[in-house]
Amino acid sequence: MTKHTPAPAGPRDAAAGAAARVPGQAGGGRRPGSPKHPQPPDSVLRALLRALPVGPSVVLMLLFLAGPIAYCVWIAFTDLQLSGQAESSFVGLENFRTAFGDEGFINAVWLTLVFTILSSIVGQNTLGLALASLMQRASKTVRTVTGAIVITAWVVPEVVAGFLLYAFFRREGTLNSVLDWLHLPSQNWLYTLPILAVSFANIWRGTAFSMLVYSAALSEIPKEITEAAEVDGAGGWRKLWHVTLPMIRRSIATNLMLNTLQTLSVFGLIWAMTRGGPGDRSQTLPLFMYEQAFKNNLLGYGTAVALLLLLVGALFSLVYMRMLRTEV
């Protein structure tokens, strides 16, 4: 078997084979078993054999990821309903027109924006950076304890996190007890400011990721540079702005992108805390999509919303790839 050939020979063989094939085709005669040129069919076969292990993954991803996405694009343009309808018909852009005229949809878009900006871009990102840079200076014990607690909040399953934060924000919950103890006014957070409560829940749950990313990034800044800045008289903020942030800007970009993508698709956390309520005051796009598709049985409409969400995600994903493109 030719499999024993060391791999580096592979591409060269293939190139030689391709070159050898050209005159053969020009001659018109294609003899697969030709003893003089065994290379062409052999190298094609070998390329196929080599690619074979990728097969299972490709099949799985085509069936379960690409398939649904294609199906999504199709039924977003139909009036498919969950029950009581024999067949659906093509309705063109009707679903999208409905969406942009639907107060519920506009509401969901706003809430998603607030939720994403507040919890991901402002909350997780800034708090993660703050914790990471504090950890650089803190004593080892404090660093370990804080790290363990913040990471536990991240590792706990999404639904459990939802329950914990539900208990925390309830009228008779921990937050109000603390506020009472501090003689500050308390209120029913899940009723008066549900979107704020779920945003804080997402910060609680997601900060660990940013913290880990920034800890790694900060530890790669050589000490000489920060010390030089200190010796030159740069204070804390100036050092942060002119030295630290520029040096970790790639990590910042990556982290922002991943946080945003993750936050866009949060469902379980909000579902466990408020189910999108009261009313629709914490109903972000994923919950709106779910409600339209399953509570109102408008599968086509729900999917159109899903497609919009997918497009926003894909857009972010493309930006993210451009930032990493030198590294693939």
Partner 1 sequence: MPTSTLTRDTPPPGAPAPRRRGPAGTLGARRHGRRLAADLALLAAALAFVLPLAWLLFASVDADSGLTARPPTDVTWDNFDAVATADITFRPLLNSLILCGSATAITVVAAALAAYPLSRYRSRLNRPFMLTILFTTSLPITAIMVPVYGLFVQINLIDTMSGTAFFLASSQLPFAIWLMKNFMDGVPKVLEEAAWTDGASSMQALVRVILPLMGPGVTVVTVFSFIMMWGNFFVPFMLLLSPDQMPASVSIFELFGNMGSVVYGELAAFSIIYSAPAVLLYVLIARRLGGGFALGGAVKG
Instruction: Pick the binder of partner 1 from 247, 256, 277, 281 (CB under 8 A).
Output: 247
Residues 191-210 that bind partner 1 (CB under 8 A): 204, 207, 209
Give the range of 18-26, 97-105, 169-177, 190-198 binding partner 1 by CB under 8 A. 169-177
Instruction: Pick the binder of partner 1 from 99, 111, 118, 164 (CB under 8 A).
Output: 164
CB of 33 to partner 1, least distance (A): 24
Instruction: Pick the binder of partner 1 from 121, 229, 252, 261 (CB under 8 A).
Output: 261
CB of 27 to partner 1, least distance (A): 27
Q: How far is CA 72 from CA 34, 65, 206, 221, 314, in A?
A: 49, 11, 29, 45, 14
Instruction: Pick the binder of partner 1 from 15, 22, 45, 60 (CB under 8 A).
Output: 60
Give the range of 20-28, 33-41, 116-124, 308-316 binding partner 1 by CB under 8 A. 308-316
CB of 133 to partner 1, least distance (A): 9
Q: Should residue 165 be labelled a site residue for partner 1 when binding is judged by CB under 8 A?
A: yes
Closest CA to 197 of 255, 123, 110, 264: 123
Mark residues 99-128: x for contact with partner 1 by CB under 8 A, - for none.
----------------------------x-
- Chain centroid to CA 311: 13
CB of 283 to partner 1, least distance (A): 14
Asked whether 215 and 193 are in contact (CB, 8 A), the reply is no
Q: Should residue 273 be labelled a site residue for partner 1 when binding is judged by CB under 8 A?
A: no
Give the range of 33-41, 102-110, 183-191, 219-227 binding partner 1 by CB under 8 A. 219-227
Instruction: Pick the binder of partner 1 from 25, 177, 187, 296 (CB under 8 A).
Output: 177
Closest CA to 43 of 70, 19, 64, 68: 19
Asked whether 199 and 119 are in contact (CB, 8 A), the reply is yes
Residues 124-153 that bind partner 1 (CB under 8 A): 127, 131, 134-139, 142-143, 145-146, 149-153
Return d(Cα 70, Cα 73) in angstroms, integer: 5
Q: How far is CA 219 from CA 149, 154, 214, 236, 248, in A?
A: 21, 22, 8, 17, 10
Q: Should residue 215 be labelled a site residue for partner 1 when binding is judged by CB under 8 A?
A: yes
Q: Measured between alpha carbons, how far apart are the two ends of the chain, in Å? A: 32
Return d(Cα 326, Cα 328) in angstroms, integer: 6
Return d(Cα 269, Cα 250) in angstroms, integer: 29
CB closer to partner 1, 195 vs 298: 298
Q: How far is CA 117 from CA 76, 162, 238, 311, in A?
A: 27, 20, 25, 18
Helix (H, G, I), strand (E, B) or coil at 90: strand
Residue that has been written with the tokens 């014990």 in this structure = 141
CB of 20 to partner 1, least distance (A): 19
Mark residues 64-93: x for contact with partner 1 by CB under 8 A, - for none.
xx-xxx-xx--x----x-------------
Instruction: Pick the binder of partner 1 from 116, 119, 251, 282 (CB under 8 A).
Output: 251
CB closer to partner 1, 26 vs 184: 184
Cα dihedral sign, 190-192-195-197 = negative
